[in-house]
Structure 1
Amino acid sequence: MSTQSKRLPDLDTLMPFAGAVVMILGGSLFFPQILGLGYLGQQLQIASFLGVIAMGATVVILLGHIDLSVPWIVGGAAILSTSLAGTGDPVLTALAIPAALVFGAAIGLINGFGVAILRIPSMVWTLAVNSMLLGIAVLNTGGFNPKGEASATMIWMASGTIAGIPTAFALWMGLTALLALFLGRTGFGRYLSSIGYNEKATFLSGVSTPSVIFAAFAIAGLCSAFGGVLLAGYANQAYQSMGDPYLLPTIAAVVIGGTSILGGRGRLLGTVGGVLFITLLTSILSVMQISNAWRSIIFGVIIIVMLLVQTLRRKES
């Protein structure tokens, strides 16, 4: 089912929400504080960082591509925004967030160029871009944590509240609604799914597939950069490898949300459910003192299982 479909959410979309509810109820049997408003509010805030990044990943995966440059778009945006904000200059501080977003969009366009024009597989090209961004960051910082700090606006976006609701969560939901509306009301959303199903046929039908690919990767870059800004605001600083922990959970959230890794089918609503599921799973594993190594193994197993299920369902349909 495509993102722009007006039908009611299907089973793939609803399953991660059901899984999140089951985890909350099941976890509360061992850790009653899970049902507390404070804990749930904190989880919504933390989920927002992953959720913003996963929005862009959904758009790219709908194409049948994948963006592995997420870690250092996130890290680069965080470094750039805190470096500008940390100068104390009012003009540079005001430019901190816009500059980070422009950076993300620019890297997205570079990714789109490699995939749409040079026809290099997205996994290879974006991984190479991520590696180059890592090298540039190390050259810029000398391998040490970058200097700078978050602006008051960045801190408020990441850690503030609006009527008792985490600001980051409100921003995530607002951006998700806007992106879903854009995909549902424009031809762009239909083209994403069409390219995911069959890029050649879509091109032959008169659609400028390179333009769609460029736009999709630019959106993904913007989302990753905004995620970096939020993370920098939450930590009040940027640090090396800030985005590394978000690559695998981002892909897992999108796949768990019902978006086919092969492209052509998926919903942003499902991604929201996938993000909540992954966030709660990570939190509960942390409370149970499960090591990071085992968390990575669990995420990998979940992705593999979901891929197998999606492949079987696609063959049946």
Structure 2
Amino acid sequence: MSVSVVIARQFDRATVIAFACVIVLLLIGAMVEPAFLSPKYLIQQLHTASFLGVVASGVMLVILLGHIDLSIPWTICVGGMMATGATGFLGPEWGITLAVPFGVLCGALIGLVNGLGVAYLRAPAMIFTLGMNAVAQGLMVYHTGGFAPQDRATEFMRELAVGHLIPGIPNPLLIWIILGAAIIFMLNRSVLGRRIYAVGNQERSVFLSGVDTRKVILACFVFSGACAAMTGVLLAGWANRSYQAMGDPYLLPTIAAIVLGGTNVLGGRGKYVGTIAGVILITILQSMLSVVQPQRYFAQLGVDIPADTFRQVVFGVVIIGMLLIYGRQQLVR
């Protein structure tokens, strides 16, 4: 099979629509602010999108299974806090050297618990992962004593978040590119990828065919936790510190980006290229909402809506709308 055919198969209808919306938003933004189309601005937006893209990479696999991971906000926080505080757990020498893998490992452990609960205990993913999010929050509050952590990011974490290994390409964007290429290969060329789609379509039939679906679910949740923690590491390096609730702004945008990219929230259908388009779309939409500030028109009517609240409303409407569309498509099929 030629490379062109493989690439063409990644662009379904939803992906094309998402990329078309990105272009429309950029053109609208250019009308408001000409700098929207400058190379510097576009690289800056891709740099920002890479944080969301990394966490969305793991959550997408969970959604392809027909499940959901609501523990990502505080898993992000765990990744950042454990990486910046690694010297306190591992000692000064090993803490500096292993800060990044230690933070990612802590996130993977949260994913492991999620996977065990959902796959082996058969607990509803929404409830179990939400509970794990609360557990992670409690552990981090206990770890910091309820105060802002004083630990700082290591030099490697700073370089990982703001450096440029390849001139012109921020390191977080490079990480996202490598991660995305690996996921595309896995979903299209590996046994695990075929099993993920199969479980999302009909888990019982896959199980009766002899596949241990529990291991597939467990692997995806562990990967989701590791990706969320990696995002926390990058955010901590970006800000030079970790802070409580650093992952809270990423829950709705992550899910919105995935469903905008065409991944069926009921599982079994979706392309990673669509998730890339959804992440870029959500990032540019956030930037547009900050520049245009449509909530000011409501203020003229006497309704004062904070910018963050308005963005959350927009993301919520997107998720509900796409859920209704996919639900209707499932009913028609």
Structure 2 length normalisation: TM-score?
Answer: 0.91
Would you say the 8 A contact 2:87–2:94 is kept in 1? no
Deviations 1:277-301 (A, max 9, x none): 0000001101123511111101111
Aligned partners of 1:24, 1:200: CA distance in 2, in Å? Answer: 44
Paired with 1:9 and 1:35, the residues of 2 have a C-alpha distance of: 24
User: Which range is displaced more, 205-214 or 81-90?
Assistant: 81-90
Instruction: For structure 2, list consecutive stretches of 5 or more residues without a partner in the other structure.
Output: 296-306
Which of 105, 113, 117 is residue 116 of structure 2 equivalent to?
A: 113
The DSSP-based 3-state class of the residue aligned with 1:29 is helix
Cα RMSD (Å) of the superposition? 1.5
Contact in 1 for aligned 2:96/2:154 (Cα 8 Å): yes
Residue matched to 1:276: 280
Contact 1:20 1:276 in 2 (8 A): yes
Choose from 315, 327, 331 the match for 1:299. 315
Higher relative contact order (CA 8 A, sep 6+): 1
Shift of residue 171, structure 1, vs aligned partner:
1.0
User: Which of 53, 56, 80 is 1:51 aligned to?
Assistant: 53
Alignment of 1:64-103 (within 5 A): 64-84=66-86, 89-103=92-106
Find the aligned partners of 2:73 and 2:10 in 1 and give their Cα distance: 34
In structure 2, the CA distance between the partners of 1:210 and 1:84, relative to structure 1 (3 Å rule), is same
Question: In the superposition, relative to structure 1, how do residues 124 and 37 fare at CA in structure 2: closer, same or farther (>3 Å)?
Answer: same
**Residues 108, 315 of structure 1: CA spacing in aligned structure 2 closer, same or farther, 3 A cutoff?**
same
Could you say which residue in structure 1 is the equivalent of 2:298? none
- Pairing of 1:87-236 with structure 2 (within 5 A): 89-161=92-164, 162-236=166-240
- TM superposition outliers: structure 1 runs of 4+ over 6 Å: none
Rounded to whole Å, the distance in 1 between the matches of 2:162 and 2:329 is 41
- Output the CA distance in 2 between the equivalents of 1:198 and 1:176: 25
Identity %: 47
Which residue matches 1:310? 326
Structure 1 residues 247-298: Cα deviation after superposition (integer angstroms, max 9, x where no partner): 0100001000100000000111110000000000001101123511111101
Paired AA for residue 291 in structure 2: V
Which letter maps to 2:192? F
**TM-score under structure 1 normalisation?**
0.95
Q: Deviations over 1:190-210 (max 9, x none)?
A: 111111111111100111000
> Could you say which structure has the larger radius of gyration?
2
Tell me which amino acid in the other structure corresponds to 1:12: A
